[in-house]
Amino acid sequence: MNEVGTLSIMESSLTNKDIIVTYVPNTFVTNYEYTIYKDNVVYKNIKVDNSDNSNIKLDKTGEYKISIKATTLKGEYNLDSGIYKIDKEAPTIEVGNYNYTISPGENIDVLKSVKATDNIDGDITKSITTNKDSLNLNSFGTKKLTYTVVDTAGNTATKDININVTYQDYLINFNQVLLIIGLVGLLVFLLVLNRVVSLEKRFVKYTVNPLKDNTKSIFDKISLKLFSFVNRISDSLDRFDYARRSSHKYQKYVDAFSNNGFTAIDFISMKIITSFVLLIASIIIQTLRFRILNIFELVIPMIIGYFILDIIYAYKYHKYRKKIEKDLLQAIIIMNNCFKSGRSITQAIEIVAEQLDGAISDEFKKMSLELSFGLDIEVVFDRFAKRIKLEEAAYLTSSLSVLNKTGGNIIKVFTSIEKTLFNRQKLNLELKSLTGSSRIIMYALTVMPVLFVIVISLINKDYYAPLFTHPLGFIIIGVIAILYVTYIIVVRKIMKVRM
């Protein structure tokens, strides 16, 4: 070894860096040559006619060996190195699915159909890592999933694919078709049943009931079962003071149009039942789509189910009040004609209940029933005014109270009330006519933002995705919602004309 000289690096382990081997000849060496073998094949052969040092650079992928033949005054000597292994080729990653489209919160196996191979290590699929844990797959938007693998030499390979988090349009499968057919069939059945019940109510007063009839229709059986279930829930809720206090706001619905024995707390029970029915329907639908529900898909149906009845009953109560307000004038006209023909107040109330129909007829039937129980006329009309909460009814009650205490011409008083209410309704119709175009503009401006959002969402589903994927987006949504609600309230206040 001393006759030839030394190599700075005799051999190396596998690396992805360049290897520089320095050959330092002995002082007795006059000239030398070195041969570089790459993968057991001669790669380079260099002759040096002096005894200067040589820096041998190995920078390509492969297995190298250096053989040195040095000439001295004593003769020729050889020096062989060990093996130098260099691997600069990165592994390859094969991804079966270059894009994923999922719903928020859906779990996916990102390593399925993924394979990594290396020229030295072979199959290194088990060494693949991803950044899936750092991605928020519960929010909308396009997420970048990165696959990473490192071989023994330290070469790194990466592969990027996109994960689109959005609501998916699944193909309707056989189970979904059956579910849709079943729901449509149920809807048709309920519509037909409602039609039959309506016809039955119209013709029942012209028919004679049998002396004994114990048979019940399917609709009656379902109603009894539902009513019994609601009663059990109401009994449980009635133990809580908060539920009792919350039920007071539904008392107006009970007074207005509940003729089946429902109490105020039964409305809360119905809201709870509706909430769970929508939750179960959501679970069934998502199960048929082979998806797992996230927290939003669990909470939102329950919230909608809980408050949908408030919207329905508020709308029915609004129609109920409008109907009474419209028919109250007819009731006063009929009562005034009764007084002109010499009828009493009790008889006038009974005639109004028979001649009219709808909500006003039900109210006058209640008044007639209360009079038959011995209540005073003032008390009966006062209860009537408190139930419907109309200024006209309060005015009528006050007039009857004064007449009952001081006396007077009831025909003139009712004629005056009749003219006042007639002029009031006439003025209301004129105001609606004059403000019709403004109201149409208000409704159009109220609906247009919603329609605009729907159309844009249909054209590009991911257009609004940044609003749901970035913290600033939620702030923007909150500001938009506040401005939109404020706009509706202000415009309605401006357009509302008080009489």
Task: Give first-to-last CA distance, the chain, whole Å.
Answer: 117
The CATH number given to 92-165 is 2.60.40.10
pLDDT at position 170, please?
44
Contact 272, 297 (CB under 8 A): no
Q: Which residues pair with 143 in a beta bridge?
A: 163
Q: How far is CA 375 from the centre of its chain?
A: 53
Provide the CATH number for the domain formed by 317-428 in this structure.
1.20.81
pLDDT tens sequence across 119-161: 888 899 888 999 888 888 877 778 888 999 999 888 999 988 8
CA dist 238 and 138 (Å) reads 39
Contact 56, 34 (CB under 8 A): yes
User: CA torsion sign, 468 to 472 to 475 to 480?
Assistant: negative
Q: How confident is the model at residue 292 (pLDDT cuts 50, 70, 90)?
A: low
Intrachain domains 5-86 and 317-428 with the same fold: no
Which DSSP state fits 159? E
Does pLDDT of 444 surpass 60? yes
Task: Say whether pTM exceeds 0.75.
Answer: no
**Residue 334 half-sphere exposure toward CB, CA atoms < 13 A:** 19
Residues 6+ apart with CB under 8 A from 442: 491, 492, 495
Question: For residue 271, what pLDDT band results from cuts at 50, 70 and 90?
Answer: confident
Strands 156-165 and 99-102, sheet pairing? parallel
Q: What is the pLDDT of residues 239-252, one digit of tens each?
A: 888 778 888 788 77
Whether residue 462 contacts residue 456, with contact meaning beta carbons closer than 8 Å, is answered with no
Q: Is the pLDDT of residue 27 over 80?
A: yes
| Helix (H/G/I), strand (E/B), else coil: 212 | coil
- Please tell me the distance from the alpha carbon of residue 371 to that of residue 148, in angstroms, as a whole number: 87
- Per CATH, the homologous superfamily of domain 5-86 is Immunoglobulins (2.60.40.10)
| Residue-range domain boundaries for the chain | 5-86, 92-165, 174-207+216-303, 317-428, 436-495
- pLDDT tens for residues 159-179? 888 888 775 544 444 555 666
Q: Give me the mean pLDDT over the 402-430 stretch.
A: 80
- Minimum mean pLDDT among 170-179, 220-229, 265-274, 279-288: which range? 170-179
pLDDT at 399: 81
Calpha distance 236→132 (Å, rounded): 47
Using only the alpha carbons of the chain, give its radius of gyration: 45
The fraction of the chain above a pLDDT of 90, given in percent, is 10
pLDDT attached to residue 156: 92
Q: Is 52 exposed, middle or buried (0-12, 13-18, 19+ CB in 10 A)?
A: exposed
Predicted confidence (pLDDT) at residue 364 exceeds the cutoff of 80 = yes
DSSP, collapsed to helix, strand or coil, labels residue 234 as helix
pLDDT recorded at residue 171: 42
Q: How far is CA 413 from CA 333, 416, 433, in A?
A: 12, 5, 30
Q: Check residue 50 and report its DSSP letter.
A: S
Q: Which residue, among 322, 324, 323, 375, has the nearest Cα to 345 in the 3D structure? A: 375
242/329 Cα distance (integer angstroms): 40
Top-confidence residue, 42 or 104: 42
Amino acid at 216: K
Residue that wins the pLDDT comparison between 492 and 483 = 483
Report the C-alpha gap between 145 and 132 in whole angstroms: 6
Residue 80 pLDDT exceeds 80 = yes
Secondary structure element (H or E) that encloses residue 129, with its range: strand 129-130
| Residue where the block lists tokens 């039959």 | 196
What's phi and psi for 32, nearest 5 deg? -160, 165
Orientation of helix 471-495 relative to helix 436-459, angle to 10°: 160
Give residues with Cβ within 8 angstroms of 18, minimum separation 6. Answer: 57, 58, 59, 86
Sorting pLDDT into bands at 50, 70 and 90, what band is 224?
confident
Q: Could you read off the pLDDT of 181-199 as tens digits, one per residue? A: 766 777 777 777 667 766 7
Whether 88 and 61 have beta carbons less than 8 Å apart is answered as yes
Q: 20: pLDDT confidence band, cut at 50, 70 and 90? A: very high
Closest CA to 496 of 444, 439, 440, 448: 439
The residues, ordered by sequence, that sit 6+ positions from 99 with a Cβ below 8 Å of its Cβ are 161, 162, 163, 164
